Amino acid sequence: MNVDEVLEKSVADASLWHDHPPAGLRARIARSWPHTDPSVVLSEADSAKIDAELHRFYARAGRDIAWSAA
């Protein structure tokens, strides 16, 4: 089954009792939006600085996930 078939099946299996729209419907909505340019564009230097600041938090989250899966 390809992605489009899976999304269509999720729309077909929709129910009023679910609290979120099915993934297929959300995908249709997102695909129907017009393309817009980003309102904020980061430079490579800014992006690298943010990644460096968040590196230890990403590393800790990765360890926490790895340990919780065991």
Domain edges within the chain: 1-32, 42-70
Burial 9-47 (b: 16+ CB within 10 A, else e): ebeeeeeeeeeeebebeebeeeeeeeeeeeeeeeeeeee
Closest CA relative to residue 29, chosen from 52, 11, 53: 11
Q: Which two tokens stand for residue 42?
A: 């980061």
Classify residue 9 by its DSSP letter.
H
Which pLDDT band holds residue 50 (cuts at 50, 70, 90)? very high
Does the global pTM surpass 0.75?
no
List, for residues 16-41, the tens digit of each pLDDT value.
677 777 888 888 899 999 999 999 99
Give, in degrees to the nearest 5, the angle at Cα 55 between 65 and 69.
5
